């Protein structure tokens, strides 16, 4: 991905727009639909009103929205990042609730690390202590003292292989799973249906961006990646409070911890990392509800192991999607890093014929993907800014293919590259398949379920 030197633009915009104000949030319950609206003000020149809507699940009666205030307020604290980044005003003013110093520091850390890719690609080199000041006023948002039900688990569904694996393993272990979708699309709906779960029993949230944001993008304001998974996290905390379900099981794997730019802390997947998961749990338990348990079910695993587990669920082969480029058309573009990485990681476990049917062609025989493969395998300046696995995982798969091919590159033109023949100390596939990362937040019963699935 190309870097653009927008540092001077950044300085100019900060001078023109000196504050960003989180003015308010509103919660209304209308005909069983919870409607949420946030109000943001950028230096009295641009105003934004993003929204969220969700229909209350059957059997849920909400007598008052007061218990939701803290969760909704914090969703707004994440939502504002998408609008603040257009001009990066040096001051953020938070009006709905007071933040203590620890909270303000927590949010600065999330903004700084969650926008690491944004700063890097725009050539904006700023320290964490110098990019923004956060002021706040009013009363602190009250934490909710509510007991949670741990007989069920909320599982966000993204439509890719990871959420397929989580849903199927938990369901087969007789866990009562409640699927969750943020902005449903065909792949997410198919994932739930193919897992023999009901869309009507799912938690569905619709998020609506303010159109002014898109207008600013068209006008040349600053743009880039934001920590979406943090928004997903706080949204699921809201759903946890609404339903009383205490477990929230994400599908982020251990590979999400690796930096995208070697030698730095810049990570496209920061809000999927274990560091953020740990910070998030601390924040939620202290400021929203101390019973909610937020964890990634797949955190102990690497992408190779997830590929193996996914290969057992063939009914999902033709329906899952992980490609951002082709997402609007519900297809694999067969030319981006996500497509090539997914193809690679599944290749040890699914036949070439079946993979060709899934992706529309044999990606390992497409020499035009060479630059993408160089990035994935660590032979470029940085990894793709996508949710892909580690360089070591990619090298391990390539090494396994090359050693089993005995020098025959029929159907493997992409791998016929001198740089790939010198992979060096690639970890053996068998070693990756037997790994289990202890750095995780899994409750013991979920760890037992995951280990049992791995050993089948």
Q: pLDDT tens digits for 44-73?
A: 999 999 999 999 888 787 877 899 999 999
- Alpha helices per DSSP H over 133-225: 161-172, 186-194, 211-218
Q: What is the DSSP string of 240-281?
A: HHHH-EEEEEE---GGGGS-SSTTS---TTGGGSHHHHHHHH
Nearest to 389 by CA among 342, 335, 333: 342
Rg (CA), the chain: 22
The helix/strand/coil state of 209 is coil
> pLDDT tens-digit profile of 276-316?
999 999 999 999 999 999 999 999 999 999 999 999 999 99
* pLDDT (tens digit per residue) in 269-280: 899 999 999 999
- In degrees and rounded to multiples of 5, residue 42 shows phi and psi of -105, 95
Q: What is the pLDDT of residue 411?
A: 74
User: Strand pairing of 46-48 and 33-42?
Assistant: antiparallel
Q: How many CA atoms lie within 13 A of 229 on its CB side?
A: 27
| pLDDT per residue as tens digits for the range 185-230 | 999 999 999 999 999 999 999 999 999 999 999 999 999 999 999 9
The rounded distance, in Å, linking the Cα atoms of 445 and 86 is 44
**What's the whole-number average pLDDT of the chain?**
93
In DSSP terms, which residues pair with 55 in a beta bridge?
33
Asked which of 27-31, 32-36, 266-270 is least confident by mean pLDDT, the reply is 266-270
Alpha helices in 301-336 (DSSP H): 303-310
| Alpha-carbon span 143 to 136, nearest angstrom | 18
Backbone angles phi, psi at 137, to 5 degrees: -150, 180
- The closest of 162, 159, 157 to 205, measured between CA atoms, is 157
Pairing of strands 133-136, 203-208: unpaired
Q: Give me 363's structure tokens.
A: 């990606």
Q: What is the reported pLDDT for 422? A: 62
Alpha helices in 311-443 (DSSP H): 337-346, 352-359, 370-376, 391-405, 429-433
If one counts every other C-beta atom within 10 angstroms of the C-beta of residue 368, the result is 10
- Report CA 314 to chain centroid distance, whole Å: 24
């Amino acid at each position: 991905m190309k870097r653009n030197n927008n540092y001077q633009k950044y300085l100019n915009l900060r001078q023109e727009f000196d504050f960003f104000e989180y003015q308010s949030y509103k919660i209304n319950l209308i005909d069983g639909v919870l409607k949420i609206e946030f109000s943001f003000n950028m230096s009295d020149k641009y105003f934004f009103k993003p929204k969220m809507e969700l229909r209350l699940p059957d059997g849920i009666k909400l007598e008052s929205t007061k218990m939701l205030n803290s969760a909704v307020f914090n969703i707004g604290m994440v939502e504002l990042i998408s609008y603040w980044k257009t001009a990066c005003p040096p001051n953020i003013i938070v009006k709905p609730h007071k933040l203590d110093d620890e909270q303000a520091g927590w949010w600065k850390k999330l903004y700084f690390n969650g926008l690491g890719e944004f700063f890097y690609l725009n050539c904006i080199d700023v320290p964490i202590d110098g990019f923004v000041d956060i002021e706040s006023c009013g009363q602190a948002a009250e934490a909710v003292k509510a007991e949670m039900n741990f007989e069920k688990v909320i599982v966000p569904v993204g439509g890719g292989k990871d959420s397929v694996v989580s849903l199927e393993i938990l369901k087969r272990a007789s866990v009562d799973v409640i699927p969750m979708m943020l902005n449903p699309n065909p792949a997410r709906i198919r994932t739930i249906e193919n897992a023999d779960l009901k869309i009507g029993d799912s938690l569905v949230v619709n998020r609506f961006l303010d159109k002014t944001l898109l207008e600013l993008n068209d006008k040349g304001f600053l743009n880039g990646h934001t920590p979406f998974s943090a928004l997903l996290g706080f949204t699921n905390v809201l759903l946890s409070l609404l339903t009383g379900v205490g477990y929230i099981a994400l599908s982020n794997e251990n590979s999400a911890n690796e930096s995208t730019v070697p030698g730095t802390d810049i990570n496209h997947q920061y809000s999927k990392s274990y560091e953020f998961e740990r910070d998030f749990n601390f924040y939620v338990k202290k400021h929203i509800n101390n019973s909610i348990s937020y964890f990634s079910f797949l955190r102990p695993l690497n992408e190779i192991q997830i590929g193996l587990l996914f290969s057992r669920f063939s009914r999902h082969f033709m329906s899952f999607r992980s490609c951002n480029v082709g997402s609007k058309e519900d297809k694999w573009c067969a030319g981006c890093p996500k497509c090539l990485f997914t193809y690679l990681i599944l290749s040890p476990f699914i036949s070439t014929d079946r993979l060709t049917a899934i992706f529309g062609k044999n990606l390992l025989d497409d020499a035009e993907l060479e630059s993408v493969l160089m990035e994935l395998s660590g032979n470029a300046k940085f990894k793709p800014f996508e949710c892909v696995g580690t360089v070591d995982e990619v090298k391990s798969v390539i090494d396994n293919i090359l050693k089993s091919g005995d020098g025959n590159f029929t159907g493997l033109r992409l791998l016929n590259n001198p740089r790939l023949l010198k992979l060096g100390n690639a970890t053996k596939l068998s070693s990756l398949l037997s790994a289990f990362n202890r750095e995780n937040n899994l409750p013991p019963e979920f760890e037992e379920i995951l280990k049992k699935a791995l050993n089948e």
